Amino acid sequence: MTHWLIVGGGTAGCVLASRLSEDSSSHVTLIEAGPPVTRQSGIGAPPVSYLDDLTAAGAVWPGLTVSDGDDGRRSYPQGRGLGGSSSINGSVLSGADLPQYDSWSWTGLVAARRTMQIPAETVAPMQLGPVDRALLGSARDGVRATLSRKAGARVSTADAYLKPARQRPNLDIVTDTLVARVLTNGHTVSGVVTAAGDRLEADQVVCSAGSIHTPALLLRSGIDVDGVGDGLTDHPSRIIEIALKPDSSADPQSLVTGAAVRRGPVEVMAMNHLGRDRPAAGALFVGLLVTSRRGSVRLDPLAADDPTVSPVVDFGRLDDVDDVRGLADGVTLAQRLLASRSFATIIDGYTVGSGYGGYAHASSSCRMGTVVDQRGAVNGYDGLFICDASVFPEIPASGTYLPVVLLAERLAALWCIP
């Protein structure tokens, strides 16, 4: 019997645990650093927005900060707990129309949609918030968002994949357990050791801890492969905060994002409210879905062996032409939309944020064609695989949620082929 050990019960890890445990001749152990449940929303639960899920106890990695090629630091939300970021993100599904790259065929990912178990629910007109409706009214090419939801409630990969599989006798789910490093005998992987010092043996180890924590785990483990932690990127963004008129404020438990406009590389997303503490504020979130900036993940040199210390994360400087100018064009587009009659009826004014942010779409820090092959196997090591957004050779020109689910579906199918 082949023993698979998956490090990380996030978006990809839940899909892999379900698919690999379908083979009764395999035993699967899923190890997650966070708790079994973090979010407050779900089918049958009282309505809450993803901003509430994002701030739930234990929902994100504590103390994680990043820089943008300078000395400044900003907090960076990465899901922690079963379902990972699929339990706290905006649930937006995009990315079916993906480009072709020399080192990876996205055709295989698109084909994986036939087996995908997460539901796709387009926001109904009656569910749209005030900023959604104004955005759609101001742009003919605006679209209602498609979300990973069922009956209006979030469905994470833990809900869609892990919950139906968790009673299988060949699947073990271990939570609240941090993995310190991968165990190797030469260039053959034999398991992992936890932060508590427990050794867990396995025939095959899959790192699915995400684009920040997967390279950190490999670096702590002494995995000697060029490119680990290099090429990290994220979609840059700016936010335009809107002051809503009193009669246009949204219920802070209602849908945050239900509409968007995409023109070329620029995406403008509606935010109907900014949470319970900001009921009279909305926003337009301006993102650039094609970027040339590149950064890195490194270990803190003062605590390189300590898995409880956050890695040093730098997304790199924005390119003055492609990134800075592209975002400026996006802000100009958003301001034109805000000047429309649709917005004039709901807003008292707006403020363009001065700094840059990200989409929490961290990607490409263990790239396919450099660190792993097309089956997700780490170059030069037997029994070691990666399956998460870190392997994308280029960041998708879309959200990363759907592409990661499809990647996990595709790689699990490849691994199950003799």
353: left (phi over 0), alpha (psi -120 to 50) or beta: beta
Contact 108, 119 (CB under 8 A): no
Position 47 scores a pLDDT of 54
What is the distance between the alpha carbons of residues 321 and 327, in angstroms, rounded to a whole number? 10
Task: Say if residue 55 is in the same domain as residue 178.
Answer: yes
Residues whose CB falls within 8 Å of the CB of residue 57, separated by 6 or more in sequence, listed in order:
38
Determine how β-strand 26-31 pairs with β-strand 2-7: parallel
- Cβ atoms of 216 and 299 within 8 Å: the answer is yes
Task: Kindly indicate the confidence band of residue 313, based on its pLDDT and cuts at 50, 70 and 90.
Answer: very high
Strand partners, 7: 31, 207
Domain tally, the chain = 2
Q: What gap in Å lies between CA 192 and CA 187, rounded to an integer?
A: 14
More confident residue, 142 or 54: 142
- Asked if residue 312 belongs to a domain, the reply is no
The verdict on 185 and 325 lying in the same domain is: no
pLDDT at 252: 84
Identify whether the C-beta of residue 194 lies closer than 8 Å to the C-beta of residue 208: no
| Phi and psi torsions of 143, nearest 5° | -135, 150
Residue 149 and residue 270 share a domain? yes
CA atoms of 91 and 104, how far apart (whole Å):
25
C-alpha 82/C-alpha 94 separation (Å) is 22
CA 295 – CA 68 distance, rounded (Å): 8
- Residues comprising the chain, all counted: 418
CA atoms within 13 A on the CB side of 293: 26
Please say whether the beta carbons of 278 and 197 come within 8 A: no
- Given a contact cutoff of 8 angstroms between Cβ atoms, the answer to whether 37 and 175 are in contact is no
Are residue 9 and residue 22 in the same domain, yes or no?
A: yes
DSSP for 237-252 reads EEEEEEEE-GGGPPPT
188-196: average pLDDT: 97
**Same structural domain, 99 and 62:** yes
Q: Are residues 68 and 197 in the same domain?
A: yes
Please report, for the domain that includes residue 210, its CATH number. Answer: 3.50.50.60
Question: How far apart are alpha carbons 245 and 250 in whole angstroms?
Answer: 10
Q: Which residue has the tokens 């991968």?
A: 182
Whose CA is closest to 6, among 418, 407, 393, 384? 384
The separation between the first and the last C-alpha atoms of the chain, rounded to the nearest angstrom, is 13
43-52, 84-93, 196-205: least confident range = 43-52
Query: What is the predicted pLDDT for the residue at 41?
Result: 62
CB atoms within 10 A of CB 352: 14
Given this model, what pLDDT does residue 311 score?
A: 98
Same domain membership, residue 107 and residue 79: yes
pLDDT in tens, 300-309: 999 999 999 9
pLDDT tens digits along 10-45: 999 999 999 999 999 999 999 999 999 766 666 555
Q: How does pLDDT run across 110-137, given as a tens digit for each residue?
A: 667 788 899 999 999 999 999 999 999 9
DSSP secondary structure, 167-204, as one string: T-TTEEEE-S--EEEEEEETTEEEEEEETTS-EEE-SE
Is residue 62 domain-shared with residue 92, that is, in the same domain? yes
Residue 102 has a pLDDT of 39
Confidence category of residue 99, pLDDT binned at 50, 70, 90: very low
Q: Which residues of 400-412 are buried (b: 16+ CB within 10 A; e: fewer)?
A: bbbbbbbbbbbbb
Q: Is residue 193 part of a domain?
A: yes
- Global model pTM greater than 0.75: yes
Quick check: helix, strand or coil at residue 372?
A: strand
In this predicted structure, the answer to whether residue 100 has a pLDDT above a threshold of 50 is no
Per-residue pLDDT tens over the stretch 340-386: 999 999 999 999 998 888 889 999 999 999 999 999 999 999 999 99
Question: In the numeric block, which tokens belong to residue 262?
Answer: 């995409």
Give me the pLDDT at residue 277, please.
84
Rounded Cα distance between 385 and 230, Å, is 17
Inter-CA distances, 305 with 216, 365, 384, Å: 10, 20, 20
- Give the CATH number for residue 126: 3.30.410.40
Q: Among 60-69, 81-90, 352-361, 381-390, name the one with the lowest average pLDDT.
A: 352-361
CA dihedral defined by 261, 267, 272, 278, rounded to 10 degrees?
A: -160
**Domain coverage including residue 205:** 1-118+155-232+362-418
User: Which amino acid is located at 215 in the chain?
Assistant: P
The whole-number pLDDT of residue 101 equals 42
CA triple 318-322-328, angle to 5 deg: 85
Q: Are residues 390 and 418 in the same domain?
A: yes
Residue 354 pLDDT:
85
Same domain, 78 and 94: yes
Q: What is the mean pLDDT of residues 263-273?
A: 94
Is 299 inside any structural domain? Answer: no
Q: Within a domain: residue 144?
A: yes
Look at residue 184 and tell me if it is in a domain.
Answer: yes
Which of residues 329, 355, 381 is at a domain's end?
Answer: 355
| Alpha-carbon Rg for the chain in angstroms | 21
Whether 189 is in a domain gets the answer yes
CA dihedral of residues 117, 152, 357, 391 (deg, nearest 10):
0
Do 145 and 281 sit in the same domain of this protein?
yes
Residues 95 and 193 both lie in one domain: yes
